[in-house]
Structure 1
Amino acid sequence: MTEREKLERGLWYDANYDEDLCRERERANELAHRLNQASPGNAALRESLLRELLGHVGEHVEVLSPLYVDYGRNVSIGDWSFLNHGAYLMDGAPITIGSHVFVGPNLGAYTAQHPLVAEERNLGLERALPITIEDDVWIGGDVKIMPGVTIGRGSVIGAGSVVTRDVPAGVVAMGSPCHPVRPITDADRIRS
């Protein structure tokens, strides 16, 4: 079994020394660099580079530079979503961002897990677990999302949160570790 096959199955794989995976990361790094250097006024070039870099980009997506990824191909962003400056999408496993998702600056979405035992970690082993952000989610600034987490539809994640577990749909959640604080209700509407 190749290292890529192990990665795709959520198994421990050689993340640091496999030549094919290293080449893929170099390609993604080059494309991300070109995207990050492109003028904000050159929307056509930025969109072209974003679509070449990422696995799927929906309609009316806006991603502000800088953006960082490991592979890019494992990232999917739905229609009408917005990622603010400084997002790092560590996409060893799929990172799925739904439609109408708003993300504050400095998002860290980390799919990688490393061994706890130093000798195993020093071999370059890791495994990657998917992250899913469902439709209509708002994520505040400086949020970190850990491997294997799903954030439910319509939820809001408070700024500075560290999301270590799934967050149900329709709640305000915050903290480190992030936890649901309350449901979002009609009382939260700005217009009655």
Structure 2
Amino acid sequence: MTEREKMLAGELYRPSDPQLAQERLRAKLLFQKANNLNENFRKERNAIYNELLDAGENLTIEPPFQCDFGSNIKAGKNLFINYNCCILDVALVTIGDNVMLAANVQIYAATHPLNANLRNSGQELGKPITIGNNVWIGGNSTICPGITLGNNVVVGAGSVVTKSFPDNVVIAGNPAKIIKTIDNS
């Protein structure tokens, strides 16, 4: 297996691999270019973000935005990403339709081994993240590796999401927990 194949399979991989380094550089050059365009160039900026991510129609990203690869972010239509969001997409990050990410949201599919010897070896791994449809993630929230958020979930500002949650709930806190259910009938 290539290091990229290991990475996407959730196995230990070497991030220093030349192919992965080149792919990260491509993403960095794209998001830096987009992030540096002012409002007069919104159309051009959106075109660059659309080249970076695999997203449906009506993608809106307020700069600055950062990611590892971009190519591992699969999003539906009507995705809104507010200022200063970062998505570490060393594993697949799937985002549904009509999702809003408030300012400073961090989505981390990247993680490191717990074993110190493995961690010190420079190897890393990732765990996929899935965010359902109609999800709103409040400002300064962090979504940890391997998490699934169901449809219609609301994540309170400042939350640290360390486990998965079902549809139709409001979650908040550190670690996040269900604080209420939502009637979406």
How far does the alpha carbon of each residue in 1:80-101 deviate from its partner, in whole angstroms, 9 at most, with x for none? 1211001100000111111111
Any stretches of 5+ residues in structure 2 without a counterpart? none
> Which whole-Å CA distance do the structure 2 matches of 1:59 and 1:94 have between them?
19
Any stretches of 5+ residues in structure 1 without a counterpart? none
Runs (4+) of structure 1 exceeding 4 A deviation are: none
User: What is the CA distance between 1:139 and its match in structure 2?
Assistant: 0.7
The CA RMSD measured in Å over matched residues stands at 1.4
Between the aligned residues of both structures, percent identity stands at 40
> Which whole-Å CA distance do the structure 2 matches of 1:66 and 1:118 have between them?
33
Q: TM-score, normalised by structure 2?
A: 0.96
SS of 1:13's partner is coil
Q: What residue identity is the alignment partner of 2:164?
A: D
Counterpart of 1:148 (choices 135, 138, 146) is 146
How far does the alpha carbon of each residue in 1:116-142 deviate from its partner, in whole angstroms, 9 at most, with x for none? 233321221111111111100111000
> Which whole-Å CA distance do the structure 2 matches of 1:40 and 1:69 have between them?
21
Q: What residue identity is the alignment partner of 1:144?
A: T
How far does the alpha carbon of each residue in 1:3-22 deviate from its partner, in whole angstroms, 9 at most, with x for none? 1111121111112x211101
How far does the alpha carbon of each residue in 1:130-172 deviate from its partner, in whole angstroms, 9 at most, with x for none? 1111100111000000001011100100000000100110011
Q: What residue identity is the alignment partner of 2:14?
A: D
User: What is the CA distance between 1:58 and its match in structure 2?
Assistant: 1.2
Q: Is the 8 A contact 2:136 2:154 kept in 1?
A: yes
Figure out how many residues of one structure are paired with residues of the other and give that number: 185
Q: Is the 8 A contact 2:50 2:59 kept in 1?
A: no
Q: What residue identity is the alignment partner of 1:152?
A: G
Counterpart of 1:125 (choices 104, 123, 126) is 123
Q: What residue identity is the alignment partner of 2:7?
A: L
User: What is the CA distance between 1:40 and its match in structure 2?
Assistant: 2.1
> Counterpart of 1:2?
2
- Alignment of 1:68 onto 2:49: no
How far does the alpha carbon of each residue in 1:27-59 deviate from its partner, in whole angstroms, 9 at most, with x for none? 1111010010012231221121012111x1211
Q: What residue identity is the alignment partner of 1:5?
A: E
User: What is the CA distance between 1:181 and its match in structure 2?
Assistant: 1.1
Q: TM-score, normalised by structure 1?
A: 0.92
- Alignment of 1:160 onto 2:158: yes
